[in-house]
Amino acid sequence: MIKQQIDYYASNDKMYVASDCIVFGFDQGELKLLIFKRRVEPDKGDWSLIGSFVELDEDDNTSAKRVLKQITGLDHVFLEQLKTYTRVDRDKGARCISIAQYALIRIDDYDKALVEKHGAYWCNLNEVPQLTLDHNQMVIDALEELRRKAKYQPIGFELLPEKFTIPQLQSLYEAIYQCEFDSGNFRKKVLSLKVLEKLEEKDKSNSRRGAFLYQFNADNYRKLVNSGYHFEI
Q: pLDDT tens-digit profile of 70-97?
A: 999 998 899 999 999 999 999 999 999 9
Are residue 115 and residue 162 in the same domain, yes or no? Answer: no
Give residue 41's domain range: 8-150
134-152 average pLDDT score: 95
174-194 average pLDDT score: 93
- Pick from 132, 150, 168: which residue ends a domain? 150
Its pTM stands at 0.90
Q: State the pLDDT at residue 229.
A: 67
Q: Which pLDDT band holds residue 114 (cuts at 50, 70, 90)?
A: confident
Q: Which pLDDT band holds residue 215 (cuts at 50, 70, 90)?
A: very high
Q: State the pLDDT at residue 125.
A: 93
- Pick from 150, 166, 190: which residue ends a domain? 150
Instruction: With respect to residue 1, please indicate whether it lies within any of the assigned structural domains.
Output: no
CATH no. for residue 199?
Answer: 1.10.10.10
3-state secondary structure of 117: helix
Instruction: With respect to residue 2, please indicate whether it lies within any of the assigned structural domains.
Output: no
Are residue 96 and residue 137 in the same domain, yes or no? Answer: yes
Q: State the pLDDT at residue 226.
A: 80
Q: State the pLDDT at residue 227.
A: 79
Are residue 23 and residue 89 in the same domain, yes or no? Answer: yes
Q: State the pLDDT at residue 4.
A: 62
Instruction: With respect to residue 50, please indicate whether it lies within any of the assigned structural domains.
Output: yes
Are residue 37 and residue 117 in the same domain, yes or no? Answer: yes
Are residue 77 and residue 166 in the same domain, yes or no? Answer: no
Instruction: With respect to residue 67, please indicate whether it lies within any of the assigned structural domains.
Output: yes
Are residue 55 and residue 140 in the same domain, yes or no? Answer: yes
- Pick from 111, 129, 150: which residue ends a domain? 150
127-151 average pLDDT score: 96
**Whether the predicted pLDDT of 164 surpasses 70:** yes
CATH no. for residue 139?
Answer: 3.90.79.10
Are residue 52 and residue 111 in the same domain, yes or no? Answer: yes
**Whether the predicted pLDDT of 49 surpasses 90:** yes
